[in-house]
Amino acid sequence: MTIYSLLIILGCGLVTWLPRVIPFMLVRKLQLPNNVIRFLSYVPLCILTALFVQNLFVVKEGEFPDFNVEYCLATIPTAIVAFMTKNLMCIVVAGMCFMALIRYFMI
C-alpha cells in the first residue's frame, strides 16, 4: 500500500465522519424546542422502516415487484416482538435473530 492510498482512505474516512459528528457538536449546547425534540424522536423509526420496506420487495425491471420471502417470514415474529416490547433495540435484535434462523434453515 502506498502513502497515496493511505491518504485517500484516511481522507474518505474523515469526509464520512465529519458530517455525522459536526451536527452533534453544534446542537449539544443548544436547547431545542419540544416540537423539534418530539420530531427527532421519530427519526430512528423512520429510518428503520425505510430500510425494511426497501428490502421487503424484489424489484425487477419491467415487472411488478415480488416479495422477498425471507424478509416476509422474518417480519411476522419481529412484528410480534415489536407489539409486545415497543423497544426499538429489542425489535432490531429480534429481527436479526429471526433472519439468521431463517437463512440457516432455508439454505
Task: Tell me the per-residue pLDDT of 6-40, one tens digit each, with 9 for 90 and over.
Answer: 999 999 999 998 888 888 788 787 888 899 888 87
Task: List the domain boundaries for the chain.
Answer: 1-30, 33-106
- Alpha helix stretches (DSSP H) within the chain: 3-27, 34-40, 43-56, 69-85, 88-106
Residue predicted with more confidence, 49 or 83: 83
Supply the pLDDT for residue 97: 95
The count of other CB atoms within 10 Å of the CB of residue 98 is 20
Give buried/exposed letters for 30-40 (b at 16+ CB in 10 A, else e). eeeeeeeeeee
How does the average pLDDT of the chain come out, rounded?
Answer: 87
pLDDT above 80: residue 48: no
Coil/strand/helix, residue 61? coil
pLDDT score of 100: 94
pLDDT band at 55 (very low <50, low <70, confident <90, very high): confident
- pLDDT for 107 equals 63
DSSP three-state, residue 45: helix
C-alpha cell at 71: 424478509
Query: Is the separation of the CB atoms in 58 and 68 below 8 Å?
Result: yes
Rounded CA gap, 107 and 105, in Å? 6
